[in-house]
Structures are given as C-alpha cells and as structure tokens.
Amino acid sequence: MSFGEFQEVKNASWRIEEFHRGVKQCCNIGNFFVRKRFPVLGHISLAMRAFFILEKIRIDKKITWYEFRRELNRIAVGNAIISLCKETGLLLI
C-alpha cells in the first residue's frame, strides 16, 4: 500500500469514527429502554433518520454538532418556559 492509499484509508476510517460519535452523542443511539428486537430496530432507525436530518441542517448552517445541539436546547427550553408561563397566566401573549 502506498502512502497516498494509506492516507485515504485512514481518513475514511476517521470519518466513520466521527459519524459513530455524532450518532451516539447527538441522537442517544446507545441508550435503549427496551430489549426486544423490533423496538430496538425502531429506535435505531428513528435515531438515524433524525441524525441525517439534523446533519443536513448542521452542514447548511456550517456549525459543529455541539453548537447545533446547544441551539436546539435553547429553543426547546425557551418554548417550554413560554408554554408554562401561558398555562399559569404569568405571560399574556
């Protein structure tokens, strides 16, 4: 194997490792609350679909997984606070 071929293989394997890390950290694909085959496969397929959608958005925005995750969390928490305030009558929007 030439040095150039080695570099290609090394870069490809690193991209695979990055993919696995992203799926595990951003979509919780490693956390299962079920043990039967079909629920596990369903969890994996939905997590993969979500990851690919999020990955496309992340690439379009040119940000890291962690920046994108922080942005999603900020939006979710903000919406939850607004919803709770509306329910309790503290916010009149």
The residue count for the chain: 93
Distances (CA, A) of 66 to 27, 43, 78, 85: 12, 22, 18, 28
pLDDT value of position 51: 85
27-73 pLDDT, tens digit per residue, is 777 777 778 888 888 888 888 888 888 889 889 999 988 888 889 88
d(CA 23, CA 11): 18
The domain ranges of the chain are: 3-88
Asked whether 10 and 34 are in contact (CB, 8 A), the reply is no
pLDDT value of position 27: 75
pLDDT value of position 13: 92
pTM for the structure as a whole:
0.60
d(CA 5, CA 10): 9
d(CA 12, CA 34): 33
Give the pLDDT band of residue 92 (cuts 50, 70, 90): low
